[in-house]
Structure 1
Amino acid sequence: MRLHLDKTFTAAIFVAIVVGLVELLGLPILGLNHAQEITAAILVIAAVLWISEWVPLFVVSFLILALEIVWLLPNLQSLDLANSNNLFFAAFFSDIILLFLGGFVLSSLMQKYGLDLKFAQSILKQTRGHADLTLLGIILACAFLSMWISNTATTAMMLTIVFPLLKTIPTEHPFRIALVLAIPFACNIGGIGTPIGTPPNAIALSYLAQLDISLSFAQWISLTAPFLIFFLVFLWQLLSRLYPAKGLVLSIESREDTPFSPKQGAALAVFIVTALGWFFGKQLGLSTGTVALFPLIVCFWFGLLDTSDFRKLPWDILYIISGGLALGIALKSSGLDSVIVGTLPADPTTIMMVGVLLAAAMSTVMSNTATAGLVIPLVMSLNISTGLIVALVVSLAMTCSMAMALPVTTPPNAIAFSSQAIRGKDMMLTGGIMTIVGVVAVIVFGRPYWTAMIGA
C-alpha cells in the first residue's frame, strides 16, 4: 500500500512539474507555439506514465482527455484551431472502439459457452500423440483463438490443456519447454491476424481512418496473413530445433465429445454471422463498427450474455486505446505532428527502419498498446502515397505485437513464466529470436508487399 501511494504521489508531482515548467518557461528552443508546447507536454506526460506504470494505464487516458479539454483546448480555440471539446471526446467512442467492443463480446461469448475449449481440444485430438504435430496443433489453436478473443485468456486456457501433457513427459526432457513457450508466443503472433486481435491494430486503423483510408476486415487479413503464416511456421521450426522431441510420443487424454447445446449453437451462429459481416460488410455499406452492434444487441437481448458479463468486459483496454487516439488528435490539431515529422529523415525506408526498431524496443519493456499510441501518430503527417502510409502504420502495429523477449513484455509471456514450467533465459532466447525475425521481416518484406497490395 505504501509503495502504491509513493508511485501515485510521484506521478502527481511529475505531472505538476511538467505543467508548471511549460506554463512558466515554455519550450522556446524548439520554436513551438503555446498549443504545441502544451501538446508536447501532454505527450511527455503520457509517455512517462505509460512506461513507468505509476498509475493504471487507463487512468493515463483519462488524464490525457482532461489535460486536452482543460489546458489544450482554450489555446487551440485562441488560435482558431478548434471550437469544441467534441474533438477529443470523439476518440472515446469511435467506430474502431465499437469494433473492439464487439470483439470483446464475441470473446466473452466463446469463453462462456466453451467454444474456445472445444476448438482447442479438437486440434489436439487430430495430432494423435505425434510430438511435433502436437506442437504445431497447439501453435495453430493459440493463434486462431487469439485472432478473435483475448490472447491473455487464450494463454491461460491453453496452459490448462497442455499441463496434463507435461505430466507424461520426463522432467528433464527439452520438449516440455517447447510446449509451454509455444502458447504465449503463438498467442502474441495470432493477434496480428485480425483488426480485433490486439489493441495496436485498432489504433492503426483509427489513425488511417483519420486520413480517409478505410481498411476492411478482409483487407487487414490479406495484409497480415503472409506474415502470420510465416511467423507461425518459423516459431514451430524454431521450437522443434531448440527443444527437440527426440522421438517422444505423447499420451493425450481422450475426452468424450459432447453435442452442442442449443445455446452453444446460438453462440456459434452469432460468431459466424459477425465474422461474415466483418468480411463482407464493406460491400453492403456497413462499417466494421456497425457490424459489431450485431453481437452486442443479440447476445444481451436474447440472454446469451447477461449484465454481469457486460460488466466483466475489459473496459480498461478500450479506454487505453481511446487515450492513444485522443493523443493523436491533439498532435494533429496543434500541428505538433508536422513539426515532429519535419525532424524525421525524408526517406520512407529510413523512417520505417527507425520506427520499427523504436517500436520493437519500446514494446519489449512496456505495453504494446501504449507503444502503438505513441509511435503511430508520428508518421501520420508524412506527405507520401497511400500505399506507403499504410505500409508504415501496419509495420508499426505489427512490430508492437512481435516484441516478446521478456516475461514482462506481454501478459501471455507473464502467465506462461509464472507457471514455473520455463526459465527466463528460455523465453529470452526464443522470444529474442522471434523479435529479431519479426523486425527483419517487416523491414525487408513489409513495404514492397503492402504497397503492392494497396497501390503506391
Structure 2
Amino acid sequence: MRLHLNQKLMAALFVSSVILFVEFFGFPGLNLTHSQEITASILIIAAVLWISEWVPLFVVSFLILALEIVWLLPGLKELNAHTANTLFFGAFFSDIILLFLGGFVLSSLMQKYGLELKFAQAILNRTGGRANVTLLGIILACAFLSMWMSNTATTAMMLTIVFPLIKRIPTEHPFRIALVLSVPFACNVGGIGTPIGTPPNAIALSYLAQKGIHLSFAQWVILTLPFMLFFLFVLWQLLARLYPAKGLVLSIENRNTDEFSLKHALALAIFAITALGWFLGKQIGLSTGTVALFPLIACFWLGLLDTADFRKLPWDILYIISGGLALGIALKSSGLDAVIIGTLPANPVTVVLLSILLTAAMSNLMSHTATAGLVIPLVVSLDGSAGFIVTLVVSLAVTCSMAMALPVSTPPNAIAFSSQALRGKDLILAGSIMSAVGVLTVIIFGRPYWAAIMGA
C-alpha cells in the first residue's frame, strides 16, 4: 500500500513540477509559442505516466482532457484559434470510439452465447492442439480478418476465442502470454495489407489523392503484402521464443456446443451484417463508427444482451484511447505538429529516415490514426516526385501500424491489456521488438522496394 501511495505522490509531484517549470521558464531556445509549450508539456506528462503506470491509464486520459481545457484552451483562444471545449470533448465520443464500442458489444455477444467456443474448437481441430501451430493459426486468422474489417473489432472477437484456451493452461505457463499478445499484434500487422485494413492506410490514400496520386486497391496490396507476411512470420517466431510452449498441448473445456437456438442464429446474423457493413461501409456511405451502432442497438433491442452486460463492457479502455486522440488534437490545434515536422532537413533520404523514426515514436505514445492524421498531411506537401511521395507516405502508414509498444499505442493493444491476462512489461517487451523490426525493415527494405515499383 505504501508503494502504491508513493507512486501516486510521485506522479502528482511530477505533473506539478512540469506545469510550474513550463509556466515560469518555458522551453528556452526552442522558439515555441506558449500554447505550443503547454502542448509539449502535456505530451511529456502523458508519455511518462503511460510508460510508468504510476496511475491507471484511463486516469491519464482524463488528466490530458483536464489540462487541455483548463491550461491549453485559454492560450489557444488568445491566439484567436477556432477552438471550443467540444474540440477536445469530441475525442471522447468520436467515430473511432463508436467503432471500439461496437467491437466490445460483438465480443460480449460471442461470449454470452458460446460462439467463441465453436471457433476455438474449429481451430484446435485443424491444429491438433499443437501449441506453436495453434499460435500460427491464430496469428494468420487475426491478420486475414484485419485486412478486411476493423482490427479493433477483430481483436475483440478473436480474444474471445483465445480465452477458453488460456483457461486450460496453468497460470504460471509463459505460453498464456504468447496467445494473448498474438491477437492484438497480428491484428495490427494484418491491417497493413489492404487500403481498408486500418485508418492510417485510408489517411495515406486520401492525402495522396489530394496530391493527384491515385493508388488502386491492387497497387496498395503489391506495395504492402510482402512486408505484412514477413512481419507475421517474425511475430510468430518472436512469441514462440519469448514465451515457449514447452511441449504444451492445448485443449478447451468440453461443453455442449451443438445446441443452436434462434438467439444463436440472431447473434451470428448480427455479427455477419456488422462485418459486411464494415467491409462495404464506404460504398454505402456509412463510417465504421456508424456501422458499429447496428450491433449496439440490435443486441439490446432484441434482448440478446441486457443492462448487466452493458455495464460489464470495459469502459476504461474507451477512455484510454480517447486520451490519445485528444492529445493528437492538441498537437494539431497548437501547431506543435508543424513545428516538429518543420525541423526535418531537406535531404530526401534524411527526411524519410527521420519521418519514420518520428512517426514510430509518436505512434507508440498516441493512436495510430492520430499520428497518421498529424504527420502524413505535413510530409505529403513536401517537394518531390510522385514516386518519392508515395514511398514516404507508405513508409509512414506501415510504421504507424507497427508501433505497438504500449497499451495506448493502438486499440487492439488496449483490449488485450484490459483482459488482465498479461502485464504491462510483457506488452512493452514484445511490442518494442516488433516496433523496432518494423522501423528497421521499412528503412532497409521499404524504400528501395517501393521506389523500384513506383519509379522513384
**TM-score using structure 2 length:** 0.73
**Paired residues of 2:368 and 2:400 also in contact (CA < 8 A):** yes
**Paired residues of 1:388 and 1:451 also in contact (CA < 8 A):** yes
CA distance in 2, matches of 1:378, 1:155: 31
Counterpart in the other structure of 1:318: 318
Question: Cα offset for 1:188?
Answer: 3.4
Counterpart in the other structure of 1:309: 309
Q: Does 2:391 correspond to 1:395?
A: no
Report matched runs for 1:194-343 at 5 Å.
204=200, 227-236=227-236, 257-343=257-343
Question: Cα offset for 1:27?
Answer: 2.4
Aligned residue identity for 2:404:
S
Counterpart in the other structure of 2:23: 23
Residue deviations 1:107-129 (CA, integer Å, cap 9, x gap)? 22112222222111111112346
Listed as ranges, the gaps of 5+ residues in structure 1 are 167-175, 196-200, 419-423
CA distance in 1, matches of 2:336, 2:65: 17
**Distance of aligned partners of 1:160 and 1:130 in 2 relative to their CA distance in 1, 3 Å threshold:** closer
Aligned residue identity for 1:59:
V
Report matched runs for 1:402-417 at 5 Å.
none
**Distance of aligned partners of 1:135 and 1:395 in 2 relative to their CA distance in 1, 3 Å threshold:** closer
Question: Cα offset for 1:278?
Answer: 0.6
**Paired residues of 2:142 and 2:183 also in contact (CA < 8 A):** yes
Aligned residue identity for 2:378:
S
Question: Cα offset for 1:440?
Answer: 3.6
Question: Cα offset for 1:193?
Answer: 5.5
Residue deviations 1:19-38 (CA, integer Å, cap 9, x gap)? 22222222232111211121
Indicate the SS of the match to 1:396: helix
CA distance in 2, matches of 1:90, 1:454: 38
Counterpart in the other structure of 1:109: 109
Indicate the SS of the match to 1:284: coil
Question: Cα offset for 1:341?
Answer: 1.2
Greater CA drift, 288-297 or 395-404: 395-404
Indicate the SS of the match to 1:29: coil
Counterpart in the other structure of 2:84: 84
Aligned residue identity for 2:60:
V
Residue deviations 1:422-452 (CA, integer Å, cap 9, x gap)? xx9xx97x88875654444444555688899
**TM-score using structure 1 length:** 0.73
**Paired residues of 2:391 and 2:451 also in contact (CA < 8 A):** yes
Counterpart in the other structure of 2:214: none
**Paired residues of 2:117 and 2:164 also in contact (CA < 8 A):** no
CA distance in 1, matches of 2:263, 2:454: 41
CA distance in 2, matches of 1:138, 1:129: 12
Question: Cα offset for 1:417?
Answer: 7.0
Listed as ranges, the gaps of 5+ residues in structure 2 are 192-196, 211-216, 408-412
Aligned residue identity for 2:331:
L
Indicate the SS of the match to 1:80: coil
CA distance in 1, matches of 2:272, 2:143: 18
**Paired residues of 1:142 and 1:158 also in contact (CA < 8 A):** no
Q: Does 2:63 correspond to 1:74?
A: no
Question: Cα offset for 1:240?
Answer: 8.1
Aligned residue identity for 1:191:
C
Structure 1 vs Structure 2: percent identity of aligned residues? Answer: 55
CA distance in 2, matches of 1:322, 1:120: 31
Counterpart in the other structure of 2:213: none
Aligned residue identity for 1:158:
V
Report matched runs for 1:35-184 at 5 Å.
35-128=35-128, 133-134=133-134, 136-140=136-140, 147=151, 151=155, 158=162, 160-161=164-165, 182-184=178-180
Indicate the SS of the match to 2:378: coil
**Paired residues of 1:402 and 1:435 also in contact (CA < 8 A):** yes
Question: Cα offset for 1:299?
Answer: 0.8
Aligned residue identity for 1:398:
S
How well do the aligned residues superpose, as a CA RMSD in angstroms? 4.8
CA distance in 1, matches of 2:305, 2:98: 18
**Distance of aligned partners of 1:230 and 1:344 in 2 relative to their CA distance in 1, 3 Å threshold:** same
Counterpart in the other structure of 1:381: 378
Q: 1:189 aligns with which of 176, 181, 185?
A: 185
**Paired residues of 2:120 and 2:162 also in contact (CA < 8 A):** yes
Q: How many residues align?
A: 425
CA distance in 2, matches of 1:128, 1:38: 56
Question: Cα offset for 1:284?
Answer: 1.0
Residue deviations 1:397-426 (CA, integer Å, cap 9, x gap)? 32223799xxxx9986997778xxxxx9xx
**Distance of aligned partners of 1:439 and 1:449 in 2 relative to their CA distance in 1, 3 Å threshold:** same
Question: Cα offset for 1:381?
Answer: 3.1
Aligned residue identity for 1:192:
N
Indicate the SS of the match to 1:120: helix
**Distance of aligned partners of 1:295 and 1:415 in 2 relative to their CA distance in 1, 3 Å threshold:** closer
Question: Cα offset for 1:262?
Answer: 1.8
Question: Cα offset for 1:139?
Answer: 4.2
CA distance in 2, matches of 1:73, 1:53: 26
Aligned residue identity for 1:322:
S
**Paired residues of 1:151 and 1:191 also in contact (CA < 8 A):** yes
CA distance in 1, matches of 2:402, 2:324: 17
**Distance of aligned partners of 1:80 and 1:374 in 2 relative to their CA distance in 1, 3 Å threshold:** same
Report matched runs for 1:337-356 at 5 Å.
337-346=337-346, 350=350, 353-354=353-354
**Paired residues of 1:61 and 1:319 also in contact (CA < 8 A):** yes
Indicate the SS of the match to 1:320: helix
